[in-house]
Chain A
Amino acid sequence: MNDNKNIIEIKGLKKSYDNGKIMALNGIDLEIKKGEFISIIGPSGSGKSTLLNMIGALDKADEGFINVAGIDLMQNKDLSKFRSKEIGFVFQLHNLIPNLTVIENVQIPMFETKSSGKEMQNRAMELLEAVELVDKINQTPTKLSGGERQRVAIARALVNHPSIILADEPTGALDSKTGDMILNLIKDIHKKENVTLVMVTHEPYVAKMADRIINVLDGKIGGDNLTKIIK
């Protein structure tokens, strides 16, 4: 699956909030290979979501080194192009725009590419077919179930052919049956599209699905390759 080339390299990454009173990340060292499926686990407040936000360039670290898909995130100032091209986010709460239709929600990230209207339509339809929502393209998210909304969010995350999918507790707001369906969909997409998948979760059974498990505790990596222990 992975080709042994690091797509994410992090060294000594630190991030604090509230003028240094809260140390969210306290010297993270991490390497993730292209095509890997990684789970990040840890208790609430351990820093796992902060780490995911750093990888996705949603937030900037105070110090350290972070290189994602060949881009030095500490040096680059405008990271919107990086996010548009390389990253697909799946949030716990789908975060769809309520007054846009399903297909419009999927197309949103494509506005930053130079795609034509037809290309946008075709790509969105292709993905909505893959997540089995073609019959709902003109509905607004308010009329969809939680699982359907998350499937739209997954389609949106994939629309620009990102090299990395970052999922922050994608099943956290779903019942177990729908959650399993979403996890299987994410796994299938990871295999088919050969994207690197980094998923934050606090549920061990979800983490077990990954190739590798990273345990974050008090802003540090407490243990790598915990798959066997959890299993």
Chain B
Amino acid sequence: MNSALGSIDSASWAISILAIVIGGVGVINTMIMTVFERTREIGVLKAVGWRNSRILGMILGESIVLTLIAAVVGIVVGIVGVEVLLSFTPTFGELIKPVLTLDTLLRAFGVAFLVGVIGGLYPAYRASRLAPTEALRYE
């Protein structure tokens, strides 16, 4: 029994790490697309005197907000999903009871925050280094 639970635990960790990596790549991709689409806007912000650090902060902030919202949605979907799955398998549901602790929640938000920072850092840096004239010419 213990070894079976240990295997499940290891598998769930592996899936979590995979999800974090995929999520991180997704965030980088989304934020790079955002920077591309808003190149002209970034050029305007530079032209009116925004510092590179402010632009970096703006993109990074958006990335973090995006991942924190994703964390809230993910937690809600996770809780509802587990309940729905257990309701379909009543025998299994009697054996395993899902437990959601504050520690798990904090860890989830911590991971989301970290993914937001790591995923947003490169696009934010790229945005902050754009040359104003080139950004303003961008179609």
Which residues, 34 to 62 on B, are CB-close (under 8 Å) to A?
40-41, 43-52, 54
Mask of A74-97 contacts with B, CB within 8 angstroms, 1/0: 000010111111010101000111
CB distance from B126 to the nearest CB of A (A): 17
Q: Are B132 and A58 in contact (CB under 8 A)?
A: yes
B114 lies within 8 A of chain A by Cβ: no
Give every chain A residue within 8 A of B44 (Cβ-Cβ): 95-97, 108
Q: Are A112 and B136 in contact (CB under 8 A)?
A: no
The CA-CA distance from A80 to B48 in the complex, in Å, is 8
Q: Are A109 and B133 in contact (CB under 8 A)?
A: no
The dominant DSSP class at the B interface is helix
Give every chain B residue within 8 A of A87 (Cβ-Cβ): 49
Q: Are A109 and B49 in contact (CB under 8 A)?
A: yes
Give every chain A residue within 8 A of B131 (Cβ-Cβ): 59
Residue among B43, B45, B48, B136 with the most chain A CB within 10 A? B48
In the complex, residue of chain B having the shortest beta-carbon distance to the beta carbon of A105? B44
In the complex, residue of chain A having the shortest beta-carbon distance to the beta carbon of B132? A58
Q: Are A156 and B48 in contact (CB under 8 A)?
A: yes
Q: Are A112 and B133 in contact (CB under 8 A)?
A: no
The CA-CA distance from A160 to B47 in the complex, in Å, is 13
Give every chain B residue within 8 A of A83 (Cβ-Cβ): 46-49
| Known A-B contacts A95-B40, A97-B41, A97-B44; A80 and B136 likewise in contact (beta carbons under 8 Å) | no
The CA-CA distance from A230 to B41 in the complex, in Å, is 37
Mask of B16-49 contacts with A, CB within 8 angstroms, 1/0: 0000000000000000000000001101111111
Give every chain A residue within 8 A of B40 (Cβ-Cβ): 95
Select B52's contact among A58, A80, A89, A108, beta carbons within 8 Å.
Answer: A80
Give every chain B residue within 8 A of A59 (Cβ-Cβ): 131-133
Residues of A in contact, count (CB < 8 Å): 23
Give every chain B residue within 8 A of A80 (Cβ-Cβ): 46, 49-52
CB distance from B26 to the nearest CB of A (A): 23
CB distance from B61 to the nearest CB of A (A): 13
Mask of A44-60 contacts with B, CB within 8 angstroms, 1/0: 00000000010010110
Which residues, 94 to 139 on B, are CB-close (under 8 Å) to A?
131-133, 136
Q: Are B49 and A112 in contact (CB under 8 A)?
A: yes
Give every chain A residue within 8 A of B136 (Cβ-Cβ): 58, 91, 95
CB distance from A119 to the nearest CB of B (A): 16
Q: Are B51 and A78 in contact (CB under 8 A)?
A: yes
Give every chain A residue within 8 A of B41 (Cβ-Cβ): 97
Q: Are A111 and B132 in contact (CB under 8 A)?
A: no
Which residues in B have some Cβ–Cβ distance to A below 8 Å? 40-41, 43-52, 54, 131-133, 136
Closest 7 CB pairs of A and B: A84-B49, A109-B48, A83-B49, A58-B132, A80-B51, A59-B133, A95-B44
Which residues in A have some Cβ–Cβ distance to B below 8 Å? 53, 56, 58-59, 78, 80-85, 87, 89, 91, 95-97, 108-109, 111-112, 156, 160
Query: 14 interchain pairs (CB within 8 A)?
Result: A56-B47, A58-B47, A59-B132, A78-B51, A80-B46, A83-B46, A83-B48, A83-B49, A84-B49, A84-B50, A87-B49, A95-B40, A108-B44, A112-B50
